[in-house]
Structures are given as structure tokens and as C-alpha cells.
Structure 1
């Protein structure tokens, strides 16, 4: 069965932006788009109300995916678009839909004057439990936002894409995560910027006085940079046409990635799969990006 780029839609501005981004991604990958609308059954008292009976509710819910699909077909000719409506809990249904998707795309409300995401409970639940890659797209995201500025300093869909940004932990590198990022960069014909951040173990400060010893600090930095290059070496060979810009920095991974996201077309981070069904398992770095990145974020689940 051919995989799809699956999108959760509800008629909101953020879900419309997600659908548009998904169509662009589908064209890059040569895959179809599936629009999925999940709606919970109307409670019996509301179903009996004269202004919102079951038939009226069904009419409006059917209208959302139909109009969204028609718009995508007009704006993205050649991209196959299908729709599906499912009744149930949105978080649970979308996490299940992700299993058969190449990529699940969801929208997040923009923070108004502050760039970034205001991730909702449904999106967060799906990211935390889906075992396939999930992309989050903020409301108002435009195709031009992912491209370099033209000679007038204005981003344009006619100019090259911005680089893809990968946040990587060299202590536990995962092939699924790294390959997703390299593949995204290859499809966009852009460099892959790999950002690794580090900080010394607490005992170093006590045992070696690292804060006062620049030589120890320099040695640690060199070791971390060498470890990053070692992780990337086989991937450079596998994707020889992808230019890799590797950076190893001392600092907070969340802060560094959020700051760097503004110059990327896509940010790629990992999430370790947790089998515990209770709670939300995202990680503080991914959580920070989902709230504050100004760029679409792809969260790649891995073992």
C-alpha cells in the first residue's frame, strides 16, 4: 500500500496552513495527500436541539474536507488528494492514522506578534504517541517563508529553499532521524545544517575547575566536534550531493535550536518512543521547539 502525507483538518487557519504545507511536501516526495477530519459524536441533548441537529452537524463536517480538498487540487495540480471522515477521539484517531502515513501533518495556532507555535492538547498528544514522523505547521505559514530572500530581500517561492536544520544528540544518534533530515535536504536541494550542543558533566566543574580552565573546555569542545563528525561520516557518503554544515556548540539545545530555526525551511528533531501509555512523552527540547519555532518542525519518533 502506498503511503500518504496525511493531514488532520478542522477548518481552522492552522489546519489550512498544514494542508497547504502537506501538498507542497507531497509534491517533493511524489506522494498523495489524505485529508482526515475527526469529529466526536454530538451529545444527545445537542443532537435534539433545533439549531444543531445531527443532519446539520454532518453537513458542516462534510463541507470542511470537501472544500479543503477542492482548494488543494486547484492550487496544486498533479497532487492526488483524498478525504476521510472518522468519528472518535481526535488525538487517538490521528495517532492511529499516522501508522499508515509517510508523514502526519498537523496545524498549531500562531502566537500572534510572537513568532512560533501555541501547540494544542490534541497536537501534543499525537506527537507524544505517534510512532511515525509528525510535522507541525503554524497558522499563517506561507510557501515563501521556507525560501531564501530574493535580491530585494523578500522571501519568494521562486528562490531556493532555506537549509534544513537537524538537532542531533551524538550520545544516542538514531538512523531514522538522521535519514529523514538528509532526505528532506536532498529533496529540497539545500544544505543540511546539523546542530549539536553540549555541556560538561557537573562533576567536571568540581573536579577540574572547568569554568576557570579554558584548556579543558577546549579539549571537551574538540572531543564533541569529533564525535559529531564520526556520526555524520557514513551519512555524508550515503548522500554525497547534500552539503553538510555541522556545528558543535556549548549551550542549551533548546535555546540554540529555537534561535537557529528562523533560518531554516524545516527543523527536524527526534523523540524517543515510550511504551508507557500514561502521560505526555515529548522531551523538553522538542517541547520548546513546538512552542517557539518560527519554522515547520518535524518530530521523528525512534526507538
Structure 2
């Protein structure tokens, strides 16, 4: 049985947008849609039976609203729902293993500058061993074949990752969309050039060299996906800023997240952290080692 697309729903407008996006994705992939609500984010021992029953009724209302939303936009989707016990981050991380992919609502930048409003989503992205898509309200996208906007892929040509590239090419194929692969580079600082390094190469020449590197990285995937149109782009600038700017016209932004075995608390890298806060389109975060 094919793994379902899973959408976490909590009644917020962001989670409804995530459910809608997930419905479109389920139809694209020919999979069912599982709507997941986590009850009682901080379970209390000995909680009264009446309070537990009220919480189950509220969860049922949340799930019913999400189901109505997805069936309004994708009546053909095969949808079922489930309530599970919290805490939310642990329940969602467990669901990741059975999802293709897991989709969550994201509120982006809040009024407290620099903080992601949605710590559960951020924790799940940092720890998940499978792709997680974050969707903001108003960015749920359109039905397959109607938008035709690019899938944007952030590529570090010095450390390319097959899992990230495969997800992006497949996303573009499913949407019949163009894949725009973007690599950001920075001109070397003359003060940091080492002996024998060429510091007089012009920026256009550097750009052409980075473009050749990018083309080489993508060639094997272009061969695997001959029907996907690919636009290779290199820009002089910081990766996060370049991706956020390019994402304003994209249907989906795909970035990688390196998983580590270090004992400190998992967290996303600076580029991934910036784009999931600021990008104006859904963001797929694909983990890799």
C-alpha cells in the first residue's frame, strides 16, 4: 500500500492551507490523504473524563472542517482522518515515517522579529528523517496543471545531495512545471586570497564557471527526467536572500537539511531556517546525511 500524504491540522488557518495543499499533492501522487490531529499537546495525568470527552469533540470538529476544506477543492481525493495523543512534536515526528510527505502549516515571521511562530513545526523539520512541507495561509497552490509556476531548487554545487535533487525533479514532473535550480556564490575577498589563487578573474567568468559546475551536478537527473524542463541559474549573493527573492514566483521551494548525530539539540541550518520563515511559497525541507 502506498504511503499517504499526511497533513497535520489544528484548526488554524495555516493548517487548513496545509490540508488543501496536501489534497492537491495526494491527487498528483495518486495517494490517499490522512488528516492528523494531535489531542492534548501537554497531557495531564488524571484529567477528568468530561474534559477528555470535550477535547475529543473539539478534535472531531477540527478534522471535519479540514475534511470539508479539502473535499471542496479536490472532491476526488481519498481522505481519512485520525486523532492521536500528544505531545504534538513527538506525534508528528512519528507520523513522518508513514508520510509521503508530511505537510504542516507555517505562520512565517511573527511580530517578534526573527522568531518563527510555530515552534512545533520548526522542531519537526529539524528532527524529521523524511521530507516535510511547510505551507502558509494563502500559499496552498492550485490544482495540477493550472498554475505552471516553477519548482525552485536550492543547490549547493560543492555538496549536492541526491535526496534533495530527486524530490525536486519529481515535484516538477508531477506538476508539469519547469525546475529552476539556483546556486548562489560569493566573489572571493581579495584579503583572503591565498598564494597562487587567481584574484583577477571577472565576475562574469566566475558565474560561467559556477554555471558549468551546476550543469554537471544536474546532468544525471536531467537524463533521468527528460521531460522536465530545467533552468539553471547562478547568482552572486547569499543563498538565503537569493532563494527568498526567487521564491516569490515559485509554486514550491525545495531545500535540504543535513541530519547530524551530534548530541546537541537538532536545529536547521541558517539557509533553511531563513527560507522557511520568509519564503512566499510552500517550502519542502528534505533531510539528508
2:163 to 176, 179, 182: 176
8 A contact 2:43–2:87 mirrored in 1 = no
Residue 43 of structure 1 aligns with which residue?
44
Residue 151 of structure 1 aligns with which residue?
none
Residue 259 of structure 1 aligns with which residue?
245
CA distance in 2, matches of 1:107, 1:198: 31
CA distance in 2, matches of 1:205, 1:128: 33
Moved more, 219-228 or 189-198: 219-228
8 A contact 1:197–1:252 mirrored in 2 = yes
Count of equivalent residues: 286
5 Å-filtered alignment, 1:200-239, equals 200=187, 205-207=192-194, 213=200, 215=201, 217-239=203-225
Offset of residue 67 of structure 1? 3.2
Residue 164 of structure 1 aligns with which residue?
151
5 Å-filtered alignment, 1:1-303, equals 1-40=1-40, 42-43=43-44, 47-48=47-48, 53-109=51-107, 111=109, 118-143=116-141, 159-200=146-187, 205-207=192-194, 213=200, 215=201, 217-276=203-262, 278-303=264-289
CA distance in 1, matches of 2:43, 2:146: 47
Gaps of 5+ in 2: none
CA distance in 2, matches of 1:111, 1:288: 10
Partner SS, residue 83 of structure 1: strand
8 A contact 1:7–1:104 mirrored in 2 = yes
Compute the TM-score of the two structures, normalised by the length of structure 2. Answer: 0.89
8 A contact 2:182–2:243 mirrored in 1 = yes
Partner SS, residue 53 of structure 1: helix
Partner SS, residue 37 of structure 1: strand
CA distance in 1, matches of 2:207, 2:3: 42
Moved over 6 A (4+): 208-212
8 A contact 2:151–2:171 mirrored in 1 = yes
Offset of residue 226 of structure 1? 1.2
Q: How large is the RMSD of aligned CA atoms in angstroms?
A: 2.8
Compute the TM-score of the two structures, normalised by the length of structure 1. Answer: 0.85
CA distance in 2, matches of 1:221, 1:2: 43
CA distance in 1, matches of 2:92, 2:51: 26
